């Protein structure tokens, strides 16, 4: 959409990094960006262009936390389909950002359940004290579309 959401996230990460005391065996200093698979390439390109000194790693569901490079990562990119693997790894990220969450986190209006989507469950269980949703389209079909995002943010109505 070209609204500058990725630049805002990068600026936030650079201006508010994880404190030194945060990083430990299971706590990573990285900002985890969970995105639709089609946008991961755009994130890689933007980070390479705007933050050339940043260490960017893609989440590998098979490899998980065994990758030593996650320890030094500034940004970890993950597709919504791999969010459950990431959440189940036990890792804690300094920040978790959901890019374009409106489609992946849409709750089912007929059941009035905010946890109807597997993506809602996975993203809600990612350990991160700082959580953001960035989208140009928070509502697609109606008010229930925002419930998944609220669940992720810990603001269940």
Tens digit of each residue's pLDDT (9 = 90 or more) over 91-133: 899 999 999 887 676 655 445 554 446 777 788 899 999 999 9
The pair of structure tokens assigned to 12 is 């936030």
Check which CATH number belongs to the domain holding 34 and give it.
Answer: 3.40.50.10810
Residue 29 burial class via C-beta count within 10 angstroms: exposed 0-12, middle 13-18, buried 19 and up: buried
pLDDT average, residue stretch 37-62 = 92
For the chain, give the percent of residues with pLDDT over 90.
46
Under the banding of pLDDT at 50, 70 and 90, the label for residue 8 is: very high
Q: How many domains does the chain have?
A: 1
For 93, the domain range is 5-153
| pLDDT for residue 81 is more than 80 | yes
Token pair recorded at residue 132: 């953001």
Backbone Cα Rg of the chain: 15
What is the pLDDT at residue 30?
95
| Buried b / exposed e along 114-138 (16+ C-beta atoms within 10 A) | bebbebbebbbebbbeebbbbbeee
Beta bridge partners of 131: 96
Alpha helix stretches (DSSP H) within the chain: 5-15, 37-50, 69-72, 83-88, 101-104, 118-124, 147-153
Calpha distance 14→79 (Å, rounded): 22
């Amino acid at each position: 959409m070209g609204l500058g959401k990725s630049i805002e996230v990068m600026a936030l990460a650079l201006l508010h990094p994880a404190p030194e005391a945060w990083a430990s065996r299971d706590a990573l200093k990285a900002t985890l960006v969970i995105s639709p698979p089609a946008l991961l390439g755009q994130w890689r390109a933007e980070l390479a262009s705007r933050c050339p000194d940043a260490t960017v790693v893609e989440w590998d569901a098979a490899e998980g936390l065994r990758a030593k490079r996650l320890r030094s990562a500034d940004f970890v990119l993950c597709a919504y389909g791999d969010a459950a693997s990431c959440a189940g790894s036990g890792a804690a990220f300094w920040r978790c950002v959901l890019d374009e969450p409106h489609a992946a986190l849409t709750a089912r209006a007929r059941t009035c359940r905010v946890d109807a989507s597997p993506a809602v469950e996975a993203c809600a269980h990612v350990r991160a004290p700082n959580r953001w949703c960035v989208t140009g389209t928070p509502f697609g079909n109606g008010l229930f579309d925002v419930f998944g995002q609220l669940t992720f943010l810990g603001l269940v109505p």
